[in-house]
Amino acid sequence: MKFPGLRKIKHYFPVSQPKPQLPSLDVRPALDTYIVGLDQTIVDVVASVSDEFLAKYDIPKGLSNLVEHDKANRIYHELVVNNAISDHFAGGTIGNTIHNYSVLADDKSVLLGVMSANIALGSPAYHYVCHTSSKVDMNHLQGVAGDIGRGITMITPDGERTFVIDPSDMDQLAPDYIPTPIIAGAAAFVVSAYPLRATGQPIQQAMLKALADAKAHQVPVVMSLGTRHLVEENRAQILQTIHDYVNVLAMNEQEAEALTGFRDPLLAAEAALEITDMVLITAGAEGLYLCGYTDERTKRESSNPIKSASLADFNRFEFSRPMLRRHCQQPLKVYSHIDPYLGGPERIKNTNGAGDGALSAILHDMAANSYHKQVQPLSSKHELPYLAYSSFAQLCKYANRVSYEILVQNAPRLSKGLPEREDSLEEAYWER
Ligand SMILES: Nc1ncnc2c1ncn2[C@@H]1O[C@H](COP(=O)(O)OP(=O)(O)OP(=O)(O)O)[C@@H](O)[C@H]1O
Ligand SMILES: O=c1[nH]cnc2c1ncn2[C@@H]1O[C@H](CO)[C@@H](O)[C@H]1O
């Protein structure tokens, strides 16, 4: 487990504990710190298109659109003829998140989903496996006869991305392939709201089983919302799922508005905190917000400039560490915001995955907390059951830095971790 982000370390963080056992790529619940993700396994087929192309096929821009197989094929073939396809890349919002987690933490994660039982060279499954970190344990995947999903990722000249999703067998994941002991030993379980639109498909029951297992074993449940119209179309079901199971909710500002009715991210977060414990809202060029709970007796005042927007002095206690609401004697809502790292890259070719990247940083910090607690149980950092290792403010910095890296690497999956030294910036960024 790597240290989450960079900073002058105040507490002892044992980075590489020698392990008496032989190294193993399989996750061993009693020995490893890991997270588990459930996803619709998807390969991203990346193509450059014009706005007219989207209009021709009646595809709403900026969203993830489920389409029938024939239409996806027609689009795909026109893109092949136009020579517009630049790459095939492993995708899936949770696949991306746990891959990035494994790259950042240099540690294991488990992917639950389907995979073609026979993988042919050049097939969607082949591209998926080739572009996934070897630290992602794929031993629990369910083999299927057909293909994994195909997500045609169309990038318009303004850098916006629009998905056309052809599901193939991606929704066939059955509850029998949810390994309860693996979920029970995880530092967090992460899922997206996308499977909620696969009405009547086995993945819905599989997802419910995984959520129930995580809840029964007090494993924090993290959910990302996916895309705005998914939230608009399944709002009641999503709200109920969050209320029943979710501890950390991740969304962008459009999804937050669709869920809560508030366009303003702080008001949206305030509303969402009525049904969950922590909320990450990414807001594109406005940076990101991380909001949650801490206990009155452990609140810590920020030494950053105090900001006011729709909530007065909202970041006053952003140096506090997040807790589950039910673990607080006197819960206090805490809000933190950060502008894009270095103002954002000079030129953004494609924002795909920047939000998922932010979430993988939060997951890394949560897992680092579990790891630290396991190896240093008597540390003062664990006097109370905190949800993460770092403060809200520090988590914002780390998440923001990772989003920037996704934007500059121009791909939703990191090919390498963050640089050990940040030449581009004064050290102050990582300090309190
Ligand atoms: N135009 C931009 N300028 C500067 N930073 C940006 C810009 N767009 C995104 N970012 C950075 O990336 C983070 C996440 O971006 P965004 O809100 O677009 O995520 P998203 O819509 O959830 O993405 P995805 O669903 O593709 O993962 C922002 O919080 C910010 O740090
Ligand atoms: O319906 C879906 N289910 C799962 N993942 C999806 C869906 N639509 C798009 N993405 C995934 O979201 C990532 C960027 O955030 C992309 O890599 C894409 O594969």
pLDDT for residue 20: 57
Q: Which residues pair with 87 in a beta bridge?
A: 46
Domain ranges of the chain: 35-40+91-122+130-141+167-415
* CA neighbor of 44 nearest in space, from 142, 172, 148: 148
| pLDDT of 195 above 80 | yes
Is the CB–ligand 2 distance for residue 32 below 6 Å?
A: no
How confident is the model over 67-84, as a mean pLDDT? 92
Helices (DSSP H) in 217-262: which residue ranges?
Answer: 228-233, 235-245, 253-260
Angle at 241 between CA 238 and CA 244, to 5 degrees: 150
Give pLDDT, residue 111: 98
Q: What are the pocket residues of ligand 1 if the criterion is a CB atom closer than 6 Å to any ligand atom? A: 252, 282-285, 287-288, 340, 344, 348, 351-356, 358, 400, 403, 407
- Give pLDDT tens digits for 352-371: 789 999 999 999 999 999 99
Which ligand 1 atom sits closest to the C-alpha of 251? 22
**318 C-alpha to ligand 1 centroid (Å):** 21
- Give the model's confidence band at 420: pLDDT under 50 very low, under 70 low, under 90 confident, else very high: confident
Q: How far apart are CA 24 and CA 64, in angstroms?
A: 37
Mean pLDDT within 158-183: 95
Q: What is the pLDDT of residue 410?
A: 80
Instruction: Confirm or reject CATH 1.25.40.10 for domain 35-40+91-122+130-141+167-415, answering yes or no.
Output: no
Query: Which has more confidence, 422 or 414?
Result: 414
Cβ–ligand 2 distance for 356 under 6 Å, the answer yes
User: What is residue 33's predicted lDDT score, i.e. its pLDDT?
Assistant: 93
CA atoms of 136 and 37, how far apart (whole Å): 10
> What mean pLDDT comes out for the span 245-273?
97
Q: Check pLDDT > 90 for residue 26.
A: no
* Exposure letters 369-394 (e unless 16+ CB within 10 A, then b): bbbbbbeeeeeebeeeebbbbbbbbb
* Alpha-helical segments (H) within 25-146: 51-56, 69-81, 93-105, 124-130
Is the per-residue pLDDT at 426 higher than 80? Answer: no
Binding-site positions for ATP: 282-287, 355, 400
In short, whether 165's Cβ falls inside 6 Å of ligand 2 is yes
What percent of the chain is predicted at pLDDT more than 90? 80
In degrees, to the nearest 5, what angle opens at C-alpha 130 toward C-alphas 127 and 134?
Answer: 145
pTM, full prediction: 0.94
Reply yes or no on whether the pLDDT at 66 is more than 80: yes
- Please name which ligand lies nearest the alpha carbon of 42: 2
Among the bound ligands, name the one nearest to the CA of residue 195: 2
pLDDT at 17: 60
Q: Which ligand is nearest to the CA of 91?
A: 2
pLDDT at 43: 96
Average pLDDT of span 26-45: 93
- Confidence tier at 394 by pLDDT (50, 70, 90): very high
